Amino acid sequence: MRIGILIFNRVEEMDFVGPLEVLASALEGRQGSVQLIAPSLDAVTCEKGMRVLPDVALADVEALDLLLVPGGSGARQELKHPESVAWLRKISPGCQWVSSVCTGSFLLVGAGVAEGRRVTTHHRFTRALAKMDKAEVLEGARFVVDGNLVSAAGVSSGIEMCLWLVEQMFGAAAETEVKDYIAYDVPPRGSEILNG
């Protein structure tokens, strides 16, 4: 199982660290890895100032089973980088699952990966994403499933989304084990999951 999390300058820390914890925990005892992927191997400075070293550069990733794109103000800025947009367009069709957390959906929609599909984003940004006029933006959902595309509204719903993905990939027992390991015992708040 090849899991890749795209990171970039001004990425929101919890948008990728929470999902990384869930996904890496699910791989314990299984073959696979979670890698942090960035445009280069230079340190990434996150939204709140944390500095992170990527595992691999975009150019060195040919295929993934699961791609996760987190948010942060950098997600919208990354749309201005042709290399990142081209890589998303190239890698996504071969993925079993493509996912986003928070405003990471801007990057997927802007790159054309989520064009014409149902997505969500952070509640403060749904109207801005809808103005891109390239995807159906759903408000009030914790996360949205549209085929193999899954988008979460924010930090805590990104963790919920990844737990759901663990169940899809490895079964209900794996999800239960991960929930126990990370001491996650919070029922989803707000709207139900919307399945497209």
pLDDT tens digits, residue range 103-143?
A: 999 999 999 999 999 999 999 999 999 999 999 999 999 99
What DSSP string runs through 84-110? HHHHHHHHGGG-SEEEEETTHHHHHHH
Q: Domain extents for the chain? A: 2-195
SS3 150: strand
Name the CATH topology of 2-195: Rossmann fold (3.40.50)
Place of tokens 């890749």: 4
Is residue 177's pLDDT more than 90? yes
- Taking the C-alpha atoms of residue 108 and residue 87, their distance in angstroms, rounded to an integer, is 11
**Cβ atoms 144, 122 nearer than 8 A:** no
Q: Are 27 and 33 in contact (CB under 8 A)?
A: yes
Tell me what pLDDT residue 155 has.
86
pLDDT tens per residue, range 20-69: 999 999 999 999 999 999 999 999 999 999 999 999 999 999 999 999 99
